[in-house]
Structure formats: C-alpha cells, structure tokens
Amino acid sequence: MSIFTIITILIVLSAVFAFINTKFLKLPFTIGLMIIAIAFTIGITALGKINPFFIDEAELLIQSIDFETALLDIMLSFLLFAGALHTKLDALKTLKAPIAAFATIGVVLSTFLVGSMMYFVFQVFGHEISYIYCLLFGALISPTDPIAVLGILKDANAPKKLEVKIVGESLFNDGVGVVVFLVIFKIAQQGIDAVSASEVGLLFLEEVVGGITLGLVTGWLTFQVMRVIDHYETEVIITLALVMGLSGLAHLLHVSGPLAVVVAGIFIGNKSPKIAWSVTTQNYVDKFWELIDVLLNAILFVLIGLELLIISAKEEYLIYGLLAIPIALIARFLSLAGPVAIFEKKLDFIPKTNLLMTWGGIRGGISIALALSLETQMERELFLTVTYVIVVFSIIGQGLTIGPLVKKVLAKNGTSGSPTSQD
C-alpha cells in the first residue's frame, strides 16, 4: 500500500470511530477509540473466518505500517510538543526534584524489579529464558506513556499537584526509559563485557543532558525569532518547523529527541505568551497544536487497537501477560515509594500520592513500539504479547477508573478534587 492510502485509511477509521464514541459510547476520547478499534479488529477476524479477504486486507494494512518508526520517529515529537506547550513551568519548578527522581531512579528501579519478578515467574512455569531479556522487558514497560497519560488525565479531574507530578514524570521518563532500554539492548546483543560503566555514563550524558541542552538552545532561538514578528500564520509554521527540525537534528547529534522536544515546548509555551506572542497568535498556536494532538492521538489509539492482528494468541503468552499486570503495578508502586517518602512532607503531597501515581501511570504506544524493536531471539513474540496485554489493561482498566479512584481518595481525606486545586 502507498503511504497516502495508509494515512487515508487510518484517518477515515479514526473519524468513524470518533463519531461512534462521541455519539453513542461517550467514553474518554482515547479510551473509546481504542475499544472500538479492538472491537473492529475482532469483527474483522471473525469475518476472516467466513471470507479470508477481510483478514488478508486488514493484515496487509498493519504489515504496511512500521509502528515503531511511525510512533518513535514521527508522531512522538508532535504529541510531546503539544503536551509540553501547555505545561506550566511554575508548577514544574516547585516539583522538579520529585519529578526528576520519578523519571530517573524510578524508571531504573522499576526496570530491575519488573525484570527480576518476570524472570522468577518464567522459572516457576518452566519457561527457560535469559535474565537479560527480562530486563529488556522491564525497561520497555517501566516508562509511563505521556501520550496516554495526557489524554486520560484531561478527563480524570485530578488535583493540579497530582496532575503535574504524573504528567511531568511522563514527559521526561520516556526519554530516560529509552536510554535504559538501549543500554540493556546493547548488552543483550553483544554481552555484558561489551559495555563498560563509562560507556553507559557517556550514553546517558549524550542522550539526556544533550537532549535537554539542545531543547533549551533551539527553544530560545525560536523564541527570539518569533519575538521580532507579529504574524500568527508565520509563527504557527515556525513552531511546526521547530518540532520537525529538532527531531531530525537530535537524531543527527545522537541525543534524545523526545527530551529536546519537551524542553523546547515547555520553554516556548511559558515564555512566548508573555513576551513574543500577541493574543491572536497565542490563540492560533494553541488551537493548531490542540488539533494536531487530537488527530495524532486518534490515529495512535486506533493503531494500538489494530495491532491486535499481529499479537500472538498463544494461551501461555496470554497467561504471562495477565500475570505481568500486577507485577508492573507492584514494581511501579515500589519504585515510587522512596521519592514519595522523601518529598511528601516537604512539598505537601496529597494523601495516597503513591497509590494514585501508580494507578495513573498509564502504559501506551511507546511500550509497544519498543517491544516491536526486539529481535526474534530476545523472545520478541512473547514480550510483544505480554506488553500488549498490559497496555490494553492500562489504558482501559486504569484509564476508566483513575478518575473515580481520585475522587474516592480525596473524599475520604476531605480534600478538594477540582482540577485547579493545589492540595
């Protein structure tokens, strides 16, 4: 299929599913679209048993899409920038220490907890597997997905302090998570002797520090360019050029593109409205990126639903997937416990912050994309199925219940649950 045909099919499906959800299901946008896409995929599979044409065409569509490239190299930068653009720096400054701890220590600790617990489960069930492959799975499932989190928290009515922690962590931990994944991936490919501690440290500095620095520099330069003009059409195009150019530049310089885009988005979103943009420009920039966010989210979650076609339905793999759900949640809870205990009194965290952050840490397309990048000998089919089970549960199960859970916890502790509440 041609690229234009693929994009056309995905947008048409997204529009149809969005209409069905808006008119009939009335679920949160991203959750509704993914549920409908999964139901559509199951329906296509059923029709395929009657007439193979339907399943053959559906599989041709999915096989024509490089999900890993589409998400990590194309869609992710746009979605991260759209989210970062509306993230207020004042709130992030106050919580920068815990967010940094969640996004770094939390991800690394969760990687080893998930990997170790899954290795134990495999041993109990007699499934021989290398420990390093379990760590790879721990690395790809530990980061929360900023795309899923941003979309779902809009409907959760969470207190602002909690929302900033979860969103702030999600915006930064995927960049750290990808670095951890790459390090373990290299060890799995070449052996532990092929990677030294100094190489790991250098890779971290290049990717994380380099990405943040690149984001600050390009964000500042773009801000200065927009500051000397007042023409909303041009300024909207400049923000679009920034995201696309920054992604390519980050890849060329071997630094973290996601972190660079997030930092540039936060910088521009906080500096430009006060100094560089007129009210008209701000309105058009906001609306443009909101539409980009909605459109790409729709396509992404439809894609996640359609990916069911390539997931192995082996009973053994599905059982491992179901067992991995509580493992991933327990690992997240334990990995956040230290930072929460350190900062909760000093920064006046709301009650049950660890529980709410654990349940609000949604896994999404990034985990599936990383699972798809595994090599066959790394138990790719097994971990792709397990990852898909966790992602579907996370988006649907956690996504639909995080709002009621927040309300229940806040009501029990007599805390206001309005979205602007600072408690």
For residues 109 and 88, which has the higher predicted lDDT (pLDDT)?
A: 109
Report the sign of the C-alpha dihedral through residues 108, 109, 113, 114, in that order. negative
User: In the predicted model, is pLDDT for residue 284 greater than 50?
Assistant: yes
- Is pTM beyond 0.85 here? yes
Residue 422 dihedral angles phi and psi, to the nearest 5°: -100, 5
Using a pLDDT cut of 90, give the percent of the chain over it: 70
The whole-number average pLDDT for the span 328-335 is 98
The whole-number average pLDDT for the span 83-108 is 90
What confidence category does residue 418 fall into, taking pLDDT thresholds of 50, 70 and 90?
Answer: very low
How distant, in Å, are the alpha carbons of 189, 336, 371 from that of 374?
10, 27, 6
Q: Which domains does the chain have, with CATH numbers?
A: 67-412 (1.20.1530.20)
Using a pLDDT cut of 70, give the percent of the chain over it: 96
Give me the pLDDT at residue 198, please. Answer: 84
Alpha carbon 239 to its chain's center = 22
The whole-number average pLDDT for the span 252-274 is 94
Q: Crossing angle for the helix pair 146-153 and 399-412, nearest 10 degrees?
A: 60
Distance CA 294, CA 422 (A): 27
The whole-number average pLDDT for the span 155-171 is 82
Structure tokens, 83: 């989210």
Give me the pLDDT at residue 222, please. Answer: 97
Distance CA 354, CA 348 (A): 13
Give me the pLDDT at residue 271, please. Answer: 94
The whole-number average pLDDT for the span 71-87 is 91
Residue 230 near residue 281, CB atoms below 8 Å: yes
Give me the pLDDT at residue 422, please. Answer: 41
Residue 348 near residue 423, CB atoms below 8 Å: yes
Residue 162 near residue 360, CB atoms below 8 Å: yes
pLDDT tens digit string along 149-161?
776 776 666 777 7
Arithmetic mean of pLDDT over the chain: 91
Residue 395 near residue 152, CB atoms below 8 Å: yes
The whole-number average pLDDT for the span 35-54 is 93
User: In the predicted model, is pLDDT for residue 295 greater than 90?
Assistant: yes
User: In the predicted model, is pLDDT for residue 199 greater than 50?
Assistant: yes
What confidence category does residue 411 fall into, taking pLDDT thresholds of 50, 70 and 90?
Answer: confident
The whole-number average pLDDT for the span 62-89 is 90
User: In the predicted model, is pLDDT for residue 14 greater than 50?
Assistant: yes
The whole-number average pLDDT for the span 310-323 is 93
The whole-number average pLDDT for the span 35-43 is 95
Q: What is 32-98 written as a DSSP string?
A: HHHHHHHHHHHHHHHHHHH-HHHHHHHHHHHHTS-HHIIIIIIIHHHHHHHHHHT--HHHHHHTHHH
The whole-number average pLDDT for the span 82-93 is 87
For residues 292 and 202, which has the higher predicted lDDT (pLDDT)?
A: 292
The whole-number average pLDDT for the span 290-315 is 92
Distance CA 92, CA 100 (A): 10
Helix (H) or strand (E) holding 123: helix 107-124
Alpha carbon 289 to its chain's center = 18
Give me the pLDDT at residue 420, please. Answer: 40
pLDDT tens digit string along 357-366?
999 999 999 9
What confidence category does residue 415 fall into, taking pLDDT thresholds of 50, 70 and 90?
Answer: low
For residues 7 and 199, which has the higher predicted lDDT (pLDDT)?
A: 7
Give me the pLDDT at residue 421, please. Answer: 42
The whole-number average pLDDT for the span 106-129 is 97
Q: Please count the CA atoms within 13 angstroms of the CA of 365 that sit on its side-chain side.
A: 34
The whole-number average pLDDT for the span 336-355 is 91
Give me the pLDDT at residue 156, please. Answer: 66
pLDDT tens digit string along 173-191?
888 888 899 889 989 998 8
Helices (H), 125-159: 131-141, 146-153
